[in-house]
Structure formats: structure tokens, C-alpha cells
Amino acid sequence: MTAIGFIGLGVMGGPMAANLVKAGFEVTGFNRSPEKVQRLVDAGGRGAASAADAAEGADVVVTMLPDSPDVEAVLLGDGGVLDGLAPGTVLVDMSTIRPDVARSLAAAGAARGVGVLDAPVSGGEQGAIDATLSIMVGGEASTFEAARPVLDAVGRTIVHVGPPGAGQTVKAANQLIVAGTLQLVAEALVFLDAHGVDRSRAVEVLAGGLAGSAVLDRKAAAMLGRNFRPGFRVDLHHKDLGIVTAAAREAGVAIPAGSLAATLMGALRAQGHGDLDHGALLLQVEQLSGRSPEE
């Protein structure tokens, strides 16, 4: 039974760690919020008092943290996890961070004999619960194969996309597409409402045509029901779009629609909606259109 240290038991990490327990792995988890550690214990895992304790003796260490500075602090800071890992350990960072940081982590791991993968995910909270996540993996092919059983326990579509940093680059592209599509779904819903069309029926037929997408399938019903309980928070998508725009600038690539999507997401956050699901882009389109949900 492979021992796994899991660091970061939030909206995504908590159910992912629980699915690893269900798959038969020995999982020791850490989170700064003790109640989230307790949920893992209740699911059959073990709790740890620190990130280093969670990683101690693990064959595979998984991190699922909010942003690049969090990952760097946990892995490379004073008393960082990476220094305590034995050669041959596999480190799988499933956070969404900057591609350049992912490459730096891989280099730091290689210097210590630790294989490092950047393996961000897509699929939201429900995908994490159902173990159906899409996982885009960067790193050495041999490290990917070694970690494959762990990835199989939390995801359905798992693809090795290239060298270190490639997983994060693909995730950035994913977040670009999702943000742009969500914005257009929000605009379409307000447009349909303004013309008095039954939006539920409209979404049904749109989903069966070329306009159909996973975003429409998974988000439209909640947007119509004005249910903005976070599956993926505006704050996090705003952060991710910052990664996209910075990486595009670095590569000299124009992303005009993506830049607009990033601006709109940032404006939504500035309006105080950072804790809502990113489907709350609907609220902003309504506001820009001078419409209220009662109209």
C-alpha cells in the first residue's frame, strides 16, 4: 500500500484525498484548518500537525494549494517539505501555479533526487468528489508512470502533456477557455431573458448544437437558478487569469479576448463577489445591461 502525504485539504483537495483513501492508499493529510483534517480522518485517513509531518515517510507527496507563493513556501521555505523528502520520492503538485514556478520546483526536486510533476486539474468540486477530474501533467515520463496509480484514483482524463511546466501551461489555456465561455454563457442568458425566451428550453437546445460545451452543461442550470455557491471561486479564477496574461506576455502572444475576460473577472472580484462561484459573471452582465433578475 503506497503511503501518500496530502497537503491542502480544501474544496478540491479534501475530496481528492478522500478518494485516495477509498482507492486503498494510506493517506496522511495536513491543512491549516483543523476541521478539514478531521474530515479526512473521518473518511479513514490520518491527520498530521504540519506539512512536513504529512510528508514524512511518504512514497508520494501531493500538494493542492491556492497559489504559487503558497506552494513555494510549503515546499521550499524554511523547514520546507522538499528538504525532508528521501531520494526516490515523487512529489505531485496539483495546484494551479505559474509555469516558471513549476519548472523551478522540478529543478529543485531533481537536485535532491525527487521526481516532481506539475499536475493541475480541471473539473471543479464535483469532479473532485466524483474522481472524474481532467489532469494535465508536466514532468519526466518515468515519474509520470510511477505516479499514475495515484492520478488514476482522482481523475478520469489523465494526459502527460510534456516536460516540467507543461501541465501548468495547459491549465492556463484551460482557464482561458473556461473564463471566455462562461462570460459568453452569461451574456447569452441575459440576452435570452431580455427577449422573453424560456431560458431553460433555450439552454437545452443550445447544449445539443455547436454551442454546446462542458461549461454550458455544468454551469447554466446553477446560473439560471442563481446558485452561486462556489464550486470554483471568482478569487481563484482571477488568480489563474493573472497567470494566463503573464505567461502570454512572456511568450509575446496576443490574447485580446482573454485579456477582456481577465478584466471582467477582476471587476467582478472588485465588486465584492470574490467568494462566489465564477458563474456569478451573470451578475455583472445584468448590471452592465441595467437589468435585475425580477425583470
- Just list the catalytic residues: 171
Burial 231-255 (b: 16+ CB within 10 A, else e): bbbbbbbbbbbbbbbebbeeeeeeb
Burial 84-122 (b: 16+ CB within 10 A, else e): bbeeebbbbbbbbbbbebbbbbbebbeeeebbbbbbbbb
User: What whole-number distance in Å separates Cα of residue 60 and Cα of residue 166?
Assistant: 20
Q: Are 74 and 63 in contact (CB under 8 A)?
A: yes
User: What whole-number distance in Å separates Cα of residue 251 and Cα of residue 41?
Assistant: 44
